[in-house]
Each structure stands twice: as structure tokens, then as C-alpha cells.
């Protein structure tokens, strides 16, 4: 059962004769470069002419509109001029922004409700006691009772967007505010599935869980001074592996280890930047691990900075492991230093905490950080910066917090206990899953006497385990989105407003992503010039705008003219449900920034550029919205938070 979603508008032609001659789609109202687009619904038939019986097309296939003649639209699957046929206008929906929603994992939050009318949703948003309004709606949903207000809800089990692509087009949106001051986006969406599906039951869930496997990859700093922690991590792996062997779980829980240091061009004696010592599944017994990790020890020379390239280690773990083999996916970072920023000349990945967090989210991997707060003078200076980096890197939407765990004074014993607890907890969850039991309520193996920090670590891990099992069940049992509908949804939990229910993305074509990359490069180059002479930055950007076709008369020298008004960033970014820091920048505000803030703006742009390149190079993530689309018409879901 394959899913997609919808939007509203446009028209085609009645009894048109098609030719191979090139044509141009109709422009969207108020746009000079964006063409009208529609999505098909299940009732659509693509016809050669009005009397033709027509052929069925996949629901929510995207078509460009070449003619609108009342009841019919002349359409093509690309904007290159090839006409495919005509569609009845009333079976299509407009898709103006080419944006969509992706559900977050529903574990540990209320399921998102889809309302018939915006007013019903707005009433709850404005309520001082939203729980009183939501509770009966959730009860009706649980008991399969019809509701006058709610037409559907997100699935109980998580839908893995990368494995089971679905399209929830955003047709309209409004940013509003809960009564407690938290912001929320209310979005009008559409959804469709191709076939009905039998709901999964407890028995099918139980059987599917029995094949649930977990991978835990330690990413360990092996710079000078790290030997005690390296040895304690080895000890933890040896201990838990012995337990796994005794309980016959070797095929269900796999450990891996990546070691990282820093740039070897700056300090060749470091030997490597990051190194995969053992992939999950390569070693299953204590003896095999001992052999694989026998030469793992701290470096013999110091790195160029106190910071190490921890981001290279995380990237190696994300890229070198086939995470699709596992339902439980965990990375545990162990370090006493901050990470070398992606914009730094000694960075080997060009990626920062935000980009790696998004990569981990895409792969369904939870990242923990064990930050060793050692007492050396240099370490103390570095702690706050490193904390901010790793809190960003490890922020997890499922538990709605960072999986960041400091170890005071770098205490080896406290560190070891946390590693033992984490490993034992995950292993226990997998053991319970092998009996068909959910992770919730299962913390077998955790010590009975716990500090507040240990209890927090275990609680977070149990919640994550439950979420990963939901995702695994969704994948195994083929969970899909709701049947065809249009309605309003909030992107935050209607009761616990701190929890995100869905993430908006914009679907960019290769040409659009390339254009975004090129223009961001030009803005970045001008910003670097502006570090010396701020007025030069906007002077250059005005010239760039003219070179891209903007009317020179429309571009004033007003120092309050916002960068967005220069028209540099494409029209496809206008009107999206996000706030652009760059679009709102003007010469006056740039000049008022201090050097640190200007540098941070430049570093953010550099990191985004590298992320765009990573997206462009990853062929596996490009999606065809029509089965027969040319590769150039494929789209990539870019999270709004990484737009400039």
C-alpha cells in the first residue's frame, strides 16, 4: 500500500491534440520562474483527449500545467515541454510550494490528529486547557468511534520516510501560538494510500519483534590522555559480550568501535583521523573483540588543537555501518574535547553538529555523548564550547532533549558505570524483544541502586528503545499513512507543546538545489569580503542580483534593504513556512554585528553549502514523484532548518 498526499488548483485542455513540439508550462500567479503544479488524486485518469477512456495514474503524481481550459488541464510530467495528456481539473489539487510534512517518531508523545476544519484545531491551540479537549478525541480514536472534528490521525507505528516514501503535501500553513507562548505551525495537508491495509495486531507485533536487532557503535577519542577511558570502554564491551554469549544473543546485539584523533596533515604522527576498528557483527565473542582492539591505544603525539575531530569519528560511524540491518541504532561518543568545527581548515569532513545530527536522524540513529570533564587547564577552558556542540549533536526529538551526559572530573569509574548501564539496558531491551515484548517497562540489567543521572540515562534509553521498536514494526508490517483526505494538522503535540510531531521539508529538483548552492556560494563570498568592508558585501550582492536578471532600478542603495528583496534566493523559497536569517539580513544589521556574530553567520553558510553538496551526491535519496520521470526531475527533501 503506497502512500502520497495532496494540494489544490490548476487546469488543462478539453480534447487537445498533442504534438512533440516544445511548450512552456503556465507560470504561477505572481511568479516569474515557478510553474503551476498539480498532484493527482485516486480518481484521476490521464487522457489523450476528452473522449478517450484514459489510463490510471499513481495517486499524487506531480504534473506541470500547460493549459487550463475550464474542466480540463493539459499536463506534462516535466517542465521541459513534453505534453503527456489531459486531466479533469476537479480530480487534481494545487501544489504551490512543493513542501511536505514528515512525521517524527510517535513514541512518548500524543499522535498527531488531522482535523476537518482549521477552526477545530485553532480552538485547541488557543485553549488554556488543551488536554480537556484532546482527551475525548484520543479516546474516540482509540475506540474507532467517528468524530465530527477529526478525520484521521498519524499511524501508531513510525513510517520510515527513507524506506517507505510517502508524500504529505502542505497545501497551506499558518504560524500561530499556543496559549502558553509556544509557537506552532498549523498546516493544511492531503494524504492518500493506494490500497486498504489490515491493521496489525498484538500477535503480529510480537512475532515481528522477535527479529529485532541492535547495533551499538562506540566512537572513542584516542588522543593523548585517553588510555584510561579506552581501556574502560574495552572492558565494558568485553563484559557485556560475555553476558550476551551466555544468553545466546550474539546474533541480536552487535558492538562496533571507531577511534578518532585529528588532522594528520598538521600532525602526521597521529597516524589517522578516524578509523573503524570493528564493525557491528565482525566480532561476537570476548576473544574476537580482544583481537580486533589489541592495538587500540592513545596517540603518541599531541594534536594541533585541544579540540579533536570527533565529527570525523561520528561521520565514519554513520557512513561505514549498514544501519538498515538493525532496528536499534546507537552511537556513543566518548571524548574529553570539543569537535573541530566544519569550517575550520583542519576539519576533514566540513560538517558540523547540525549536519551530522540531520544525517543521524535520516538513518534513524541515536547519538549519545559521554563528555569527560577532565580537570586540566586547557580542558576546563574547552568544556562549555564542547557542551554546546554535543548538546546540539545529540538532540533527539523522541525524548525531546539532548543525549548529553557529562562525567564530572573525568572520573573513570563513573564513566565506566554509565557505559555498563547503557550497554546492559539496550541488551536487555533486545532480549525482551526476542520474546516479543516491548521496550517500555523493560530495564532488566540496570542496577537497582541508581543516582539521578543514571536513572535519567536509563529512562532516555528505554524511551528510545520503544521508539526504535515502533519504527522497526512499522517497517516490518508495512505501516502507511492515512487514506485519502485533506485536513489541518499541528506540527507540535497538542498537549505537550515542547514535542514535535512532524518536520516540514521542501522538495527541490537537482537544478533548484544546484541553484541554491551557487547563490549561497555567492552570498558567502560576499560575506567574507564584508568582514573587512561591510558596505562591499551588499555592493557585491547588488551586482550579483543584476547579473541574475534583476532590474537595477528596483535595487536601491538603502542600507535597510533586506537581502531577500534582492531576489537572490530562488522564488521556490518564497512563502515557505520558515524564517530565513539570511533573507532578513540588511547592510545596517550586518554592520552592527560584532566579528564573532559575523563569523558565525559565515560558518553557518559554509556548513550548509557542504550539506547541499552531500545531498546532491547521494543518489539513493533522490525521489521520483512520477514513475517515468527523467532523473533531472527527481526531488530531494531538504529540511527547512538547513535553508539559508
pLDDT of residue 397: 83
Per the CB < 8 A criterion, the answer to whether 171 and 95 are in contact is yes
Q: Round to whole Å and give the CA distance between 265 and 268.
A: 6
- Residue 509 is classified by DSSP as E
303 — pLDDT class (breaks 50, 70, 90): very high
- Alpha helix (H) ranges present in 247-376? 286-292, 310-320, 353-363
Per-residue model confidence as pLDDT tens digits over 100-149 = 888 888 888 899 999 989 999 999 999 999 999 999 999 888 887 877 89
Element (H, E) at 253: strand 253-260
Of how many residues is the chain composed?
644
| Residue predicted with more confidence, 464 or 372 | 372
Confidence (pLDDT) at 223: 95
Residue 512 and residue 573: Cα distance in Å, rounded?
10
Give the pLDDT of residue 314.
97
246: cell is 551466555
Q: Specify the pLDDT at position 19.
A: 43
Over residues 424-447, the mean pLDDT reads: 62
Q: Range with the lowest mean pLDDT among 162-171, 192-201, 492-501, 560-569? A: 192-201
Residue closest to 192 by CA, chosen among 8, 62, 476, 1: 1
- 252, 232, 256: which is closest to 244 by C-alpha? 252
pLDDT tens profile 567-579: 777 677 777 777 7
How much of the chain exceeds pLDDT 90, in percent? 37
In the predicted structure, residue 177 carries a pLDDT above the cut 80 = yes
Report pLDDT for 525.
83
Report the distance separating Cα 124 and Cα 105, nearest Å: 22
The confidence score (pLDDT) of residue 158 equals 80
Residue (of 644, 390, 481, 14) closest to 382 by Cα position: 390
Using the predicted structure, report yes or no on whether residue 178 has a pLDDT greater than 90: yes
H helix or E strand, kind and range, residue 472: helix 452-477
Tell me, what's the pLDDT at 202? 52
Of 320, 327, 332, the closest CA to residue 394 belongs to 332
Q: Does 435 or 68 have the greater pLDDT score?
A: 68
Domains of the chain: 3-96 (2.30.30), 100-197+479-500 (no CATH), 206-477 (3.40.50.410), 507-642 (no CATH)
Sheet holding 214-221, edge to edge: 274-278, 253-260, 214-221, 328-335, 366-373, 404-408
d(CA 80, CA 123): 45
Which among 386, 392, 317, 390 is positioned nearest to 354, based on CA atoms?
Answer: 392
Higher-confidence residue of 626 and 29: namely 29
Amino acid at each position: 500500500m503506497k502512500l502520497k498526499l495532496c494540494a489544490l488548483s490548476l487546469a488543462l485542455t478539453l480534447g487537445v491534440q498533442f504534438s512533440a513540439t516544445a511548450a512552456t508550462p503556465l507560470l504561477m500567479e505572481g511568479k516569474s520562474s515557478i510553474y503551476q503544479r498539480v498532484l493527482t488524486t485516486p480518481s484521476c485518469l490521464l487522457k489523450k483527449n476528452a473522449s478517450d477512456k484514459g489510463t490510471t495514474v499513481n495517486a499524487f503524481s506531480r504534473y506541470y500545467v500547460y493549459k487550463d481550459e475550464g474542466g480540463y488541464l493539459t499536463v506534462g510530467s516535466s517542465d521541459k515541454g513534453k505534453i503527456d495528456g489531459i486531466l479533469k481539473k476537479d480530480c487534481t489539487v494545487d501544489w504551490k510550494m512543493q513542501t511536505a510534512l514528515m512525521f517524527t517518531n510517535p513514541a512518548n508523545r500524543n499522535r498527531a490528529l488531522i482535523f476537518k476544519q482549521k477552526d477545530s484545531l485553532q480552538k485547541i491551540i488557543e485553549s488554556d486547557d488543551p488536554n480537556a479537549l484532546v482527551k475525548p478525541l484520543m479516546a474516540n480514536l482509540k475506540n474507532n468511534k467517528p468524530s465530527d472534528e477529526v478525520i484521521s490521525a498519524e499511524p501508531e507505528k513510525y513510517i520510515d520516510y527513507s524506506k517507505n516514501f510517502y508524500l504529505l503535501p502542505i497545501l497551506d500553513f499558518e504560524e500561530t501560538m499556543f496559549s502558553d507562548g509556544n509557537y506552532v505551525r498549523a498546516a493544511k495537508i492531503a494524504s492518500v494510500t493506494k490500497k486498504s491495509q489490515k491493521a496489525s495486531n498484538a500477535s503480529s507485533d510480537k512475532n515481528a519483534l522477535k527479529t529485532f536487532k541492535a547495533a551499538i557503535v562506540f566512537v572513542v577519542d584516542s588522543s593523548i590522555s585517553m588510555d584510561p577511558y579506552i581501556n574502560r570502554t574495552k572492558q565494558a564491551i568485553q563484559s557485556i559480550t560475555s553476558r550476551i554469549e551466555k544468553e545466546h544473543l550474539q546474533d541480536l546485539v552487535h558492538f562496533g568501535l571507531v577511534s578518532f584523533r585529528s588532522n594528520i596533515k598538521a600532525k602526521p604522527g597521529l597516524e589517522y583521523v578516524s578509523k573503524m576498528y570493528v564493525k557491528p557483527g565482525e566480532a561476537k565473542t570476548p576473544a574476537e573483540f580482544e583481537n580486533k582492539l589489541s592495538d587500540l591505544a592513545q596517540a603518541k603525539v599531541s594534536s594541533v588543537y585541544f579540540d579533536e575531530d570527533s565529527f570525523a569519528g561520528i561521520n565514519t560511524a554513520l557512513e561505514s555501518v549498514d544501519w538498515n540491518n538493525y532496528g536499534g541504532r546507537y552511537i556513543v561518543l566518548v571524548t574529553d574535547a570539543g569537535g573541530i568545527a566544519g569550517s575550520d581548515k583542519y576539519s576533514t569532513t566540513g560538517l558540523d553538529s547540525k549536519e551530522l545530527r540531520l544525517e543521524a536522524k535520516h538513518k534513524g540513529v541515536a547519538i549519545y555523548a559521554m563528555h569527560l570533564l577532565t580537570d586540566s587547564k586547557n580542558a576546563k577552558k574547552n568544556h562549555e564550547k564542547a557542551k554546546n556542540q554535543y548538546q546540539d549533536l545529540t538532540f533527539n526529538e523522541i525524548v525531546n532533549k539532548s543525549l548529553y551526559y557529562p562525567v564530572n572530573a573525568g572520573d573513570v569509574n563513573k564513566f565506566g558505570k554509565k557505559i555498563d548501564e547503557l550497554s546492559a539496558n539496550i541488551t536487555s531491551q533486545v532480549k525482551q524483544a526476542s520474546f516479543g515484548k516491548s521496550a517500555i517497562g523493560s530495564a532488566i540489567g540496570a542496577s537497582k541502586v541508581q543516582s539521578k543521572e543514571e536513572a535519567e540515562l536509563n529512562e532516555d534509553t528505554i524511551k528510545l528503545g520503544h521508539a526504535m521498536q515502533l519504527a522497526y514494526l512499522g517497517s516490518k508490517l508495512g505501516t502507511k499513512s492515512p487514506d485519502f483526505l485533506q485536513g489541518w494538522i499541528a506540527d507540535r503535540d497538542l498537549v505537550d507543546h515542547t514535542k514535535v510531531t512532524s518536520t516540514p521539508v521542501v522538495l527541490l529538483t537537482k537544478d533548484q538545489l544546484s541553484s541554491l548552492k551557487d547563490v549561497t556560494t555567492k552570498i558567502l563570498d560576499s560575506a567574507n569580503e564584508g568582514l573587512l568592508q561591510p558596505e562591499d558585501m551588499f555592493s557585491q550582492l547588488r551586482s550579483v542580483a543584476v547579473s541574475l536578471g534583476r532590474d537595477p532600478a528596483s535595487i536601491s542603495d538603502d542600507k535597510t534593504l533586506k537581502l531577500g528583496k534582492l531576489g537572490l534566493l530562488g522564488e521556490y523559497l518564497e512563502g515557505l513556512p520558515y524564517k530565513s536569517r539570511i533573507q532578513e539580513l540588511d547592510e545596517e544589521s550586518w554592520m552592527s554585528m560584532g566579528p564573532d556574530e559575523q563569523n558565525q553567520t559565515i560558518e553557518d553558510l559554509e556548513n550548509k553549502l557542504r550539506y547541499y553538496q552531500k545531498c546532491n551526491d547521494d543518489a539513493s535519496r533522490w525521489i521520483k514523484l512520477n514513475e517515468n520521470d527523467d532523473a533531472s526531475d527527481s526531488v530531494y527533501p531538504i529540511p527547512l532548518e538547513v535553508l539559508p
